[in-house]
């Protein structure tokens, strides 16, 4: 290579770093100020509504569960109707360990819940992710139903339909006890778990691995063509997603101090899907927005008007599927852009 060519190469690239697109790309993984807002809001909620911390805990768990689904569905494009399989696996892992007095320490229990769910995710992912479309939808649905029936059948260990009541959970760090009447510990403990999991997912998304997942979602053939190990990436992503769902399930079992078949049913899978789509999938904060909107509406409307709530939810889903395919965040972004360009124009 001649000297001229060697010196020309960096010169040709250097000006492009000033290009607006290059700046956006280089900074897109940087933390922005508004990313602190959800966590500030969570702390404000803790001090402002001490009577609603049980509800708050439920909300945080729903966010984590939806976040785990976002990794598989939003980023890698794995359309699944059986994500509750992993939530349930984590919940039953924690529940059975505690109920039979084998292991009650909460943080290590959560790791075991994650590991259990990850193993199931890995095994099912290795087999199921060969397929796609409707077959995959059916297979994930059947895997979840299979686990549910297995838990129902093994009633000697799982308590069957009645589940395992009053789980003894040891205090967090040996100090902070779970009090069923005041959910302070449960709330902060869940918030901590969510923060750690979120930081992990955020890092993962902006890593080359995360970028290749988006690539697989957007153009499978091209990713094959550039030599990306597509199947392996999908299986790893599915396993990580399963582990996170397992943590959410483990938190659910610990904070409620019971576990039953409801952690494994179609209802739970459908609800988490609805939460994620409502908020906006494939955008990291969709899980937060979706869970807050869905659970707030459910908490205040479903108790008073259960039928009207279901009707309203149904109509909302139909409208989202028809008109707002990117959820609330997507809708907000569109409106913001339209509003912004109008400002620029005037």
Partner 1 sequence: MDLIADFAGILLGGLAAGTVLFIVSVGLSVTMGLMGFVNLAHGAFAMFGGYVIVLAMNRAHVGFIAALALGFVATAALSVILERSLYRRLYRAGELDQVLFTIGLVFVFIAATILIVGPESQTLQLPPALGGQLNLGFTQYRTYSVFLIGVGFAIALGIWLGFERTRIGAQIRATVDNRRMAESLGINVDRLFTITFAFGSGMAGVGGGLGAEFLGLDPQYALKYLVYFLIVVSVGGLGSVIGVYYAALLLGVLDFVLKLYLPQGGTMFIYALTILLLLWRPQGLFGRKEL
Where does this chain bind partner 1 (CB under 8 A)?
Answer: 73, 79, 81, 127-128, 130-131, 133-135, 137-139, 141-143, 145-146, 149-155, 160, 266, 270, 273-274, 277, 281, 307-308, 310-311, 313-322, 325
State how far Cα 131 lies from the chain centre.
Answer: 23
Rounded to a whole number of angstroms, the minimum distance from the CB of residue 280 to partner 1 is 12
Instruction: Report how far apart, in Å, the C-alpha atoms of 178 and of each of 38, 75, 167, 185, 251 are.
Output: 24, 35, 11, 6, 12
Rounded to a whole number of angstroms, the minimum distance from the CB of residue 215 to partner 1 is 17
Q: Can you tell me the distance from the alpha carbon of 309 to that of 221, in angstroms, rounded to the nearest whole number? A: 42
Tokens linked to 278 = 């409502």
Please say which residue, 212 or 269, places its beta carbon nearer to partner 1: 269
Please say which residue, 44 or 315, places its beta carbon nearer to partner 1: 315
Q: What angle do CA 265, 271, 274 make, to 5 degrees?
A: 145
Rounded to a whole number of angstroms, the minimum distance from the CB of residue 75 to partner 1 is 13
Q: Can you tell me the distance from the alpha carbon of 201 to that of 248, in angstroms, rounded to the nearest whole number? A: 14
Instruction: Report how far apart, in Å, the C-alpha atoms of 107 and of each of 15, 190, 239 are.
Output: 50, 11, 20
Please say which residue, 255 or 271, places its beta carbon nearer to partner 1: 271
Rounded to a whole number of angstroms, the minimum distance from the CB of residue 114 to partner 1 is 24
Please say which residue, 115 or 316, places its beta carbon nearer to partner 1: 316
**Backbone conformation region of residue 260, classed left if phi is above 0, alpha if psi is from -120 to 50, else beta:** beta
Please say which residue, 98 or 151, places its beta carbon nearer to partner 1: 151
As a residue count, the chain comes to 346
Please say which residue, 109 or 124, places its beta carbon nearer to partner 1: 124
Rounded to a whole number of angstroms, the minimum distance from the CB of residue 336 to partner 1 is 23
Beta pairing partners, 72: none
Rounded to a whole number of angstroms, the minimum distance from the CB of residue 159 to partner 1 is 12
Please say which residue, 155 or 232, places its beta carbon nearer to partner 1: 155
Instruction: For residue 312, give every residue at least 6 positions away whose Cβ sits within 8 Å of its Cβ, in sequence order, or none.
Output: 301
Q: What angle do CA 172, 261, 127 make, to 5 degrees?
A: 95
Q: Can you tell me the distance from the alpha carbon of 112 to that of 118, in angstroms, rounded to the nearest whole number? A: 10
Q: Can you tell me the distance from the alpha carbon of 279 to that of 327, in angstroms, rounded to the nearest whole number? A: 5
CB 175 within 8 A of CB 162: no
Rounded to a whole number of angstroms, the minimum distance from the CB of residue 325 to partner 1 is 6
């Amino acid at each position: 290579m001649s000297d001229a060519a060697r010196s020309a190469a960096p010169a040709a690239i250097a000006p492009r770093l000033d290009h607006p697109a290059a700046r956006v790309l280089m900074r897109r993984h940087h933390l922005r100020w508004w990313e602190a807002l959800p966590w500030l809001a969570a702390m404000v909620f803790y001090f402002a509504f001490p009577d609603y911390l049980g509800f708050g805990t439920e909300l945080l768990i729903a966010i984590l569960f939806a976040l785990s689904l976002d990794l598989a569905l939003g980023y890698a494009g794995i359309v699944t109707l059986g994500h509750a399989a992993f939530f349930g696996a984590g919940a039953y892992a924690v529940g059975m360990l505690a109920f039979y007095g084998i292991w009650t320490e909460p943080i290590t229990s959560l790791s075991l819940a994650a590991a259990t769910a990850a193993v199931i995710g890995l095994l099912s992912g290795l087999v199921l992710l060969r397929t796609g479309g409707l077959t995959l939808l059916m297979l994930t649905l059947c895997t979840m139903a299979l686990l549910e029936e297995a838990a129902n059948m093994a009633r000697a260990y799982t308590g069957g339909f009645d589940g395992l009541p009053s789980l003894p959970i040891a205090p967090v760090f040996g100090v902070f006890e779970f009090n069923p009447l005041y959910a302070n510990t449960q709330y902060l403990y869940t918030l901590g778990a969510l923060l750690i999991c979120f930081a992990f997912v955020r890092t993962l998304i902006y890593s080359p691995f995360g970028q290749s997942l988006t690539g697989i979602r957007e153009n499978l053939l091209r990713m094959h063509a550039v030599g990306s190990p597509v199947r392996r990436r999908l299986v790893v992503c599915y396993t990580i997603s399963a582990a996170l769902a397992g943590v959410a399930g483990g938190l659910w079992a610990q904070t409620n101090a019971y576990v039953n078949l409801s952690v494994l049913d179609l209802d739970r899978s459908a609800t988490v899907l609805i939460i994620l789509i409502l908020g906006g999938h494939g955008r990291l904060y969709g899980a937060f927005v979706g869970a807050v909107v869905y659970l707030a509406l459910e908490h205040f409307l479903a108790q008073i008007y259960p039928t009207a709530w279901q009707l309203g939810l149904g109509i909302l889903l139909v409208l989202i599927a028809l008109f707002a395919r990117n959820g609330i965040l997507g809708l907000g972004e569109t409106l913001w852009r339209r509003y912004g360009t109008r400002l620029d124009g005037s």
